[in-house]
Structure 1
Amino acid sequence: MAIGGADMPVVISVLNSGSGWAGVFAGFMISNNLMVIAGAFVGASGIILSYVMCEAMNRSIYNVLVGGFGDMGKTAGGTKVEGEVTQTTVDQVTKWMLEARSVIITPGYGMAVSRAQHSVAELTKELRAKGVKVRFGIHPVAGRLPGHMNVLLAEASVPYDIVLSMDEINHDFPDTDLVLVIGANDTVNPAAQTDESSAIYGMPVLEVWKAKQCVVMKRSLASGYAGVDNPLFVYPNNAMLLGDGKKTIDSLLESVRASKNDASKKQQTNDTTVAVDTTADNTTAPGSKTITDQNGLLNGTHHGESEAATKRVRPETFLKVGVLKETGDVKEKRVAIDNTVAEKMLEKLGIETLVERGAGAGASISDAAYEVCGARVVDRATLIAESKVIVKITTPTVEDVESMSAGQVLIGWVQPAQNQDLLSKAAERGVTLLAMDAVPRITTAQKMDVLSSTAKIAGYRAIIEAAYHFQRFFSGEITAAGKFPPAKVLVIGAGVAGLQAIGAAHNLGADVRAFDTRLECKDQVESMGGRFLVMDFKEDGTGEGGYAKPMSPEFIEKEMELFLEQAKECDIIITTAAIPGRKAPILIDQYHVDAMKSGSVIIDLAALTGGNCKVTRPGETYVYTTPRGGSVTICGDTDLTSRMASQASVMFANNVYHLMHHCGGGKEFKLNQEDDIIRGITVAHEGTVTWPPPKPAGPPPQA
C-alpha cells in the first residue's frame, strides 16, 4: 500500500480518529461517560482534520486510503512524462549555491527519512555567512503530519523567520536564483497545475519550477507516493542530484566549507546533458553520464537557454532618491534609508538610491553594504544635483533648502508649526517640502506613520535607560540576601510611547501603573500589563486626531494631587505627554520631584518640546538633589531613538518606502494633492506654503 508523503498526515489523522471512536465504544461498554466524551472529541477532531488536509490536497479521503492498494509502481493517471533528465554533481551544485544571491530550500519527507535536518541547518548557516539569502518553503502537508518539516527545522535551530509557508513563498520563486528540493516529489509536481488527467490535478504545490535553477535531491527517479510522474525532472532548468539525502547534504556542506567562494577562478568544463530512462529506479541510469558544469547563475543562464536571453540585469529605474548624511546634531546616528530598503526600492519600485558617503556609519551600515544592495554612494553635491527626491531624518535646515533647485522634493521631520522660516524658504526656492511627522492619523496612513515608529522606540528605550540609572531589580526577588520588592513605575501618557514603556516595564517584572486624560486608553493600558489610574472627575481629554487635548484648570489641580501621591510611592516616572504644535505641558512640578525617594528616576520623553517635568534640562541627564538630601536622576536626553540607530533607521526607512509606494513608485511618481495623506504632509509646494492643510469636511448638518 503506497501511503506516505502528503498522504501520511491524513492516514495518521484517520487512525487517531479511529482510536477516539474506539474509546467511545469502550466507554459505552463500561458505562464511563468521561471516556465517551473524550473519545468523541478525539474522533471528531481527527475526522475534521483529515477532511481539511484532503481539501488542501484536492483529494478525497477514499482516494488517499484506498487508492494506494495494489502495485506500488503503478502510476495514478496523468500524462506519461518523456524527455531528457539532466543529472548534476555536488561540485556543480556548490558552484550554483555560491553564485546565487537567493536560495529557497523545499524539504519533503525524504529529509525526514534520511534525518538530514541538522546537516541542512549547517548548510544554511554556511551559505548565509557567505552572503547568500536562504529561505525555506514548506508545503502544508509535507512529511508525516502537518508541521512535520517545521518541527524538524526548529529542532535543528533553523531561524524561524526564514521558514515560510507555501502561500508566503510561492510568489518569490520567479525571482529566486536556486531552489534545492530535498526529498520532495508530489508537493513540487507541476502536473498538479498543468495536467487535468493527473490524480493530483488541483492540489496546491510549491512552484519551484519558476526559479532560475532548480535542483532535486532524491534517491531515484521513481514517482512519488501518489504514483504520478513528475515532469519537473525533465524541465530544462532542473537538474537531478541523486543519492541518499543526508550523505548528499553532507557532501554539499563539505564542499561549501572548502570553497573559497571565488567562482571566477574555477575552470569551466563542458556542459553535458544526457537522456535517462524516467521509469528507472536506479540511482544513476546505466550508461548515463553526469553533468559536471553549467553556465553559472551569475550569468543568469538556464539549461538549454542562451546566456543573452537570461542574463541578469539591473532593474530599470525611473527615479533617483538621495539620502543625506545627518550633520546638524552630533548625537544623531540614524540614516533615513537603510541598505535593505534601498534594495527593495530598486527591485520593487524602480527607484535608485543615492547615499551620501558615510551616511549609514552611525547605524552600522557601511558604504560597501549600500553598494552591494544596488545603491550608489556619492558626495553631497552629486547627490543633490542628481536626486529628484531627497530624504533625511532630522529637521532640514535653511541651508539644505537653499542648496536645492525648484521642482525637487525634500522629505524629513519638519515640525512645520515651529519652523515657519523653513517653510517660507522652501516656497521661495520652489522646493516641495514633505513633513513625515505630519502624516494624518488615519488607517490608510499607518504604514507611513513615523511618529508611531519613533515613539515606539523611544518608549522602549526609556525603560532601558531607567533600568540603567535605577540600578536595582525591576522584578520582585527572593534571594539568600533577603527579599526585594518590584520597582514601582508610573507612566504618564498612554500613547504609542507610553504603551511601549508599560509593556517593556511589565516584561521586566515591574509594578506598572499609568495615567492618561483619555479614558479610552484604560483597556489598552491593562492589555500591556499596567494598572490604569482613574480620578473622580468627569472630564475626558480625547482631542482631535486621537491626541490629548488641553484640560481645564480644575482637572489639572486634581491631576497634580494624584501625581504627588504617586511620586511619593514610585521609583520611576516616565512622562510622554505632548500636544502637537505646542510646548509640552508641565505634569511633574518641582515639589513632586522633592517628594520622591532617593535613587528614583524620571525619564522625560517630552524634553524636546520643553519637557513634562519642571526641572528637566533638555538634552541632559543630571542628578537632582532634594531638600532632604536625596538624589533623583532626571533624564532629559533627546536622542533616545538615535541610541537605537540601527532599529530606528530600518523603521523610518520602511515608512519612507511605503510613502514612495503610495506616490506611485519610480515610474508613476506623483504628489497628488487631492490625496488626503499627501496633502496632509505637504507643507510647501510650487512656491506656496501649504501648511496647515485644510480640515476635512464635517458631516452634513442634520435637518
Structure 2
Amino acid sequence: MASLIAGVLRERAPGERRVALIPEAVTRLKSAGVDVIVESGAGAAAWFTDVDYTAAGAQVVGVEELFQRADVVLCVGPPEVEEAVPLRPGQTLIGLLDPIQHPALVAELGARGVTMVSLDLLPRTLSRAQSMDALTSQANVAGYKAVLLAADSYDRYFPMLTTAAGTSKPAAVLILGAGVAGLQAIATARRLGAVVTGYDVRPQAQGEIESLGARYLKLDQVASAAGEGGYARELTGDESQTLLQALEDHIARSDVVITTARVPGRRPPRLVTAAALERMRPGSVVVDMAASELGGNVELSEPDKTSVLDNGVTLIGAGNLPSVMATAASTAYARNITALLTHLLKDGALHIDTEDEIQAGVVVTHEGSVVHPAVGGTPAGGAK
C-alpha cells in the first residue's frame, strides 16, 4: 500500500513568515509512515532551507506538483479561494483555517469534496488534545513577544535600576486578559522587572495572575463573566460600558498596557477607549494583540500598524505576533499539526471519524458537505 503523502504549502498571506512543518517534524511523520513533500521556499522566511528539508527526508517540489501528489495539504493560515483552486475531491487541507470568518472558502471546498480540518476549532478542554492545541502554542509566543515589543518601544527601563546616576522606578504594566497569551505576557513582564497588574473578567483568573507574582486588579463594580469550559462569556452592553469606565483610571496610571482578549470568529471586546488613551502619560505604550480587520481591544488601533498619538502615547496594533517569531512559532505549530495528523491516521491511511471527540471539533467539511455546526453545517454523525 502506498504511503500517505503530506504536502507543506508555502504561506502567501502578506507578512506571514511561519511554515506548517519544520524539518524535525518531517522525521517524525516519516516514522509514522507518512511521506512529506515541501513546496520550494516554504520554510525560508522561518530560516528553514530546502536543503534542511531534503536532509530530513522530504522532497522539495513546485506548487503544482505538490497539489497533484499530496493526499493531505498542510498550511498555517487559510488560503484565499483562488489559491485553493488546485485542491481536488478526496484531498484534505489542515491548518488554522478560521472557517467562521471564511465562509466562501468553506462553501467552495466543501462543495468540491475537499475535507477541511481546522486546528482553531480544537476542543481545548480535552486533555488528550493538548499536544494538538495550536491556539495555545501560538498564544504563548504572542504573549512573550508582545512584552518585548512594548519594552522596545518604551523609552524608560522596565526594572527598577539603581546606578551612580540615580534610581529609576520600575514600569507599571497592566495586562488585560489572563488567557494563555495574557499569562505569558505577565510572566515575561515580571522577568523584565516591571510591576505588573493583571485583569480578567473571569474571577477565577485571580489565582493564576497572582501565582505569577503580579497584582490582581479587582473591579467590584464589574459582574463576573465566567462562561462554560473556563472561557469568558460575552458581556452585555451595560456590562461592557461599566467595564470600560472602571478600567479607565487604571489605564491612565499605567506606563504600558497590553490587551490580549480575542474571541474566535467574533469582533474582539473593546477594553481601552480613545478617552482612556488621551489620559495616559506621554511616552506610554499600548499593545493591542487583538488588532485585526474585525477591530481590536483598543479604540484607534489598526492591525500591523504603530502610531504615536498626539499626546505622545505609542499605540501598536500587533495582530500576528507569532509570525514575528516565525522560527519558534513554526516549531511549536509543527508539533501541533503533527500530533493532529497522526491522530487522524489508522493503518497508515487518513481516517475521518466524526464520532471521535477531537475530529468532531476540527473537521469542517467532508465528502461534499459542511459538517461542523459552528460553520453552519450538520454533523455527519458517524464514521466515514
TM-score class, shorter: over 0.9
Greater relative contact order (CA < 8 Å, ≥ 6 in sequence): 2
Q: Is the 8 A contact 2:30 2:36 kept in 1?
A: yes
Q: How far off its partner does 1:464 sit?
A: 0.6
Does the CA contact (< 8 Å) of 2:201 and 2:225 recur in 1? yes
Q: 1:339 aligns with which of 23, 31, 42?
A: 23
Question: CA separation of 1:317/1:497 partners in 2, compared to 1, >3 Å: closer, same or farther?
Answer: farther
Report the AA paired with residue 405 of structure 1: R
Q: Is contact 2:95–2:337 with CA below 8 Å preserved after alignment?
A: no
Instruction: Find the aligned partners of 2:318 and 2:204 in 1 and give their Cα distance.
Output: 30
Counterpart Cα distance in 1 of 2:213 and 2:53: 40
Counterpart among 454, 472, 485 of residue 169 in structure 2? 485
- Residue 568 of structure 1 and its aligned partner are, at CA, apart by 1.9
1:612 corresponds to: 297
- Per-residue Cα deviation, 1:204-246 (whole angstroms, up to 9, x for no partner): xxxxxxxxxxxxxxxxxxxxxxxxxxxxxxxxxxxxxxxxxxx
In percent, how many aligned pairs have the same letter?
Answer: 38
Match of 1:559 among 237, 240, 243: 243
What CA distance in whole angstroms lies between the structure 1 residues aligned with 2:335 and 2:140? 14
What displacement does 1:557 show? 3.3
Q: How does 1:674-693 map to 2 (within 5 A)?
A: 674-692=355-373
**Distance in 1 between residues matched to 2:198 and 2:246, nearest whole Å:** 11
State the match for 1:659 in structure 2. Answer: 340
Task: Say whether residues 1:326 and 2:11 are aligned partners.
Answer: yes
Q: Is the contact between residue 371 and residue 378 of structure 2 (CA under 8 Å) also seen in structure 1?
A: no
Pairing 1:384–2:47 present = no
Deviation by residue 1:400-435 (Cα, 9 ceiling, x = unmatched): 332111000001221121111111001111101111
CA distance in 1, matches of 2:128, 2:305: 37
- Aligned-partner Cα distance in 2 for 1:558–1:530: 24
Change (3 A) 1:493 1:317: farther
* Corresponding residue to 1:671 among 347, 352, 363: 352
Q: Which residue of 1 aligns with 2:102?
A: 419
Structure 2: distance between partners of 1:622 and 1:359: 32
Distance in 1 separating the partners of 2:369 and 2:102: 15
1:476 and 1:665 map into 2 onto residues whose CA distance is 56
Tell me the CA shift for residue 554 of structure 1: 4.0
Are 1:624 and 2:305 an aligned pair? no
* Structure 2 portions without partners, runs of 5+: 380-384
**1:501 and 2:182 equivalent?**
no
Matched residue, 1:350: 33
Partner of 1:644: 325
Give the C-alpha shift of residue 546 in structure 1: 2.6
Q: 2:285 aligns with which of 601, 605, 614?
A: 601
Matched, 1:456 2:140: yes
- Give the CA deviation at 1:539: 2.6
Amino acid at match of 2:131: K
Q: Is the 8 A contact 1:317 1:666 kept in 2?
A: no
Question: Structure 2 residue aligned with 1:582, among 256, 266, 269?
Answer: 266
1:472 aligned to which of 131, 139, 156: 156
Deviations 1:132-164 (A, max 9, x none): xxxxxxxxxxxxxxxxxxxxxxxxxxxxxxxxx
TM-score between both structures, scaled by the size of structure 2: 0.94
CA distance in 2, matches of 1:413, 1:668: 22
Structure-1 separation of matches of 2:2 and 2:177: 44
Q: Closer, same or farther in 2 for the Cα pair 1:390/1:636, shift >3 Å?
A: same
Q: Residues 176 and 259 of structure 2 are in contact (CA less than 8 Å); yes or no, is this contact kept in structure 1?
A: yes
8 Å CA contact 2:370–2:378 kept in 1: the answer is no
Residue deviations 1:254-289, cap 9 Å, x none? xxxxxxxxxxxxxxxxxxxxxxxxxxxxxxxxxxxx
SS in 2 for 1:424: helix
Deviations 1:334-372 (A, max 9, x none): 10000000111112x111110000111011111001000
1:562 shift after superposition: 2.7
Report how far residue 582 of structure 1 moved. Answer: 1.1
Q: How far is the alpha carbon of 1:666 from its aligned partner?
A: 6.8
Superposition deviation, residue 558 in structure 1: 3.2
Number of the residue aligned with 2:224: 540
Q: Distance in 2 between matches of 1:328 and 1:516?
A: 32
Is the Cα contact below 8 Å between 2:6 and 2:73 reproduced in 1?
A: yes
User: What letter is aligned with 1:549?
Assistant: R
Name the SS for the 2:204 alignment partner. Answer: helix
501-510 or 634-643, larger mean C-alpha shift: 634-643
Aligned partner of 1:528 in structure 2 is 212
Question: Cα 1:673–1:363, aligned 2, differ >3 Å: closer, same or farther?
Answer: same
CA shift, 1:317, in A, is 6.8
Query: What letter matches 2:12 in structure 1?
Result: T
Closer, same or farther in 2 for the Cα pair 1:666/1:500, shift >3 Å? Answer: farther
Q: Deviations over 1:5-52 (max 9, x none)?
A: xxxxxxxxxxxxxxxxxxxxxxxxxxxxxxxxxxxxxxxxxxxxxxxx
* 8 Å CA contact retained: 1:351, 1:665: no
Q: Secondary structure of the residue that 1:684 maps to in structure 2?
A: strand
Secondary structure of the 1:434 match is strand
Q: Does residue 49 of structure 2 align to residue 366 of structure 1?
A: yes
1:427 and 1:684 in contact (8 A); partners too? yes
Q: Distance in 1 between matches of 2:94 and 2:178?
A: 28
Q: Decide whether the 8 Å contact of 1:321 with 1:390 is kept in 2.
A: yes
Matched to 1:432, the amino acid is: T
What is the identity, as a one-letter code, of the residue corresponding to 1:358? G
For 1:542 and 1:684, locate their aligned partners in 2 and report how far apart those are by CA, in whole Å: 31
Change beyond 3 A, Cα 1:666–1:328? farther
Distance verdict in 2 for CA 1:566–1:666, change over 3 Å: farther
Residue pairs, 1:2-401, within 5 angstroms: 318-329=3-14, 331-347=15-31, 349-401=32-84
Query: TM-score, normalised on structure 1?
Result: 0.52
